[in-house]
Structure 1
Amino acid sequence: MSFGDPNNPYGQPPQQHSGQPGYGYPQQQSSGYGYPSPPRSYGGPGPVTVMPGSVKAARVMLFVLGGFQVLGGLLMIVASGRLADFIEEEISSDPNVSSDPNISSEDLSTIGNVSAGIMIVFGVIALAFAFWAIFTGVKMATGYGGVRVSAIIYASVVTLFSVLTLIGANVFALISLLLGVLIIVFCANRNGSQWFNRPRY
C-alpha cells in the first residue's frame, strides 16, 4: 500500500489544496452580495453609526440656547402687565402730561396696554425660537440633512441678533454669539456632513 492510499492507517495524510483554509486558517466569510460589511463607529471604514463629539456638542448648545429662550419668553410675558403699569405711572407723573387736557387716563391706559402687547409678542417670538432650537436638537439623533440645515439657519439668526444686541452693550449676547458660531462650525464641518448624510439601514 502506498502512502497515498487513503485506507492505509500508516500512510501520509492527504495534502490539502493550496488556497483552501487549513488548520489555523479559519475561513473568512464573504462580504459580497448577501453579506454586507458590518457598520462602523465613527472614525473607521464604513458608515458612521455613532454621533461625532462635535455634533453632540452642537446638540447640547441648541438645548442650552432653547432653555434660555424659554425662560426669557416666559419672563417677558409675565412681566408685560407690570411693564404696562410702570409706563402708565411714569407718563402720568410727568408734569407736562398731567397738565395737558388733551391726554386722558384712557390714553395712558392705552399706551400701557400697547407696551404690554409688544412685550407679549416678543415673548411669544422667544418661545417660538426656543421650540425651534429644542426640536432641532432632538431630531439631530435621527434626522437627515434638513435637520443640519435647520440648525445652521437657527444659529445664523441667533448670531445676527447677538451682534445687533452687542451694540447696546449687552454682555450676555457674547454667550449666544459664541454658541451660535460654534453650532454653525460643528454642523457645517466634515463630521457634521458625514453624520447627517450617513446611510440608514
Structure 2
Amino acid sequence: MSFGDPNNPYGQQPQGQPGYGQQPQGQPGYGYPQQGQPQAPDQQPGYGYPQAPPVQAYGGGFPGGPTEMPGGVKAARVMLWVIAGFQLIGTVLFVLAAIAVDKAKDDPKLKDDVQFQDLADFSTGAIYGLTFLVLLWGMLAVFLAVKFKSGGNGIRITAMVFGIITAVLGVYPFIIVGLVHTVLAILVTVFVGKSDGGAWFNRARH
C-alpha cells in the first residue's frame, strides 16, 4: 500500500508518525511535567508566592509578647508602692487627728460648749471615715502593684482608672498634700497606658 509521493505535502502521513505541530503520542507536551515524575520544588502549586509560615495561636493575647516586664511598667509599679506608702502615712495622721479631737472634747473648759461638742462629734466621725477611705485606697494600690506581674488587661484598666481618680483627688480637694499623689498617679496612668504596657498585660500566659 502506497502512502503517496513523499515530496507531496498533501500526501497522507503514515500512521504512527506525528503530523506537523503535533507531539508524538505517549510524550508530554513541551513545558508540562511528565506524569509520575516528581516536580521540582520551584514547580509546586503557587510557584512565585512563598508560603507563609503557620501562624501560631496564643490564648487570647498578643503573639509571644514580652517575657520581661517593660521598664515603664516597672516604674509604674514602684510608683504604686510609693502611693501606698503615702496612704499609710495619711492613715496614721488621720488617726492621730481623731485622737486629738477626742481629747479636746474631754477638756473641762470645752465640755460646756455645746457648739464645740457637736462640731467635735461631727469632726471625729468625718476623720474616721476619711481614715478608712485613705487606708482602703492604699490597700488598692498595694493590690495593683502585686498583680502587675501576673495580672491581665483588667488589672491594666483598673490601674489606669486608679491613676486618673487619684490625680483628680490630688488636685481637689487635697491639692496641698496631694500634689505628689497627682504627679505619681499621672505617671502611672501614662506608663500603663503605653503600647508596651498593653503588650505586657495582654501577653500570652502558659
TM bucket (normalised to shorter chain) is: 0.5 to 0.7
1:75 and 1:174 map into 2 onto residues whose CA distance is: 17
**1:115 equivalent in alignment to 2:133:** no
**1:81 equivalent in alignment to 2:86:** no
Cα distance per residue 1:49-92 (max 9 Å; x no partner): 10000000000000100111011112202320212444786x94
1:197 and 1:127 map into 2 onto residues whose CA distance is: 30
CA contact (8 A) 2:156 2:201 kept: yes
Counterpart amino acid of residue 173 in structure 1: G
1:177 and 1:60 map into 2 onto residues whose CA distance is: 15
CA contact (8 A) 1:88 1:111 kept: no
**C-alpha displacement of 1:111:** 2.9
Equivalent residue number for residue 153 of structure 2: 145
1:127-142 alignment runs, 5 A limit: 127-142=135-150
CA contact (8 A) 1:85 1:112 kept: no
Q: Aligned pair count? A: 150
Counterpart amino acid of residue 149 in structure 2: A
Q: 3-state DSSP class of the match of 1:150?
A: helix
**C-alpha displacement of 1:32:** 7.1
Counterpart amino acid of residue 196 in structure 1: F
Percentage of matched positions with identical amino acids:
31
Cα distance per residue 1:17-51 (max 9 Å; x no partner): xx9xxxxxxxxxxx979xx8xxxxxxxx9421100
Q: Highest Rg: 1 or 2?
A: 2
Equivalent residue number for residue 186 of structure 2: 181
1:195 and 1:105 map into 2 onto residues whose CA distance is: 60
* RCO comparison, higher one (Cα < 8 Å, 6+): 2
2:101 and 2:182 map into 1 onto residues whose CA distance is: 28
TM-score by length of 1: 0.65
Cα distance per residue 1:132-190 (max 9 Å; x no partner): 001011001000011101111111111001111465xx1x4321111111101001010
Runs of 4+ residues over 2 Å off in structure 1:
83-89, 103-111
**C-alpha displacement of 1:112:** 1.5
- Runs of 5+ in structure 2 lacking a partner? 1-40, 42-52, 57-62
Equivalent residue number for residue 68 of structure 2: 50
Q: Which moved more, 1:145-154 or 1:75-84?
A: 75-84
**C-alpha displacement of 1:104:** 4.5
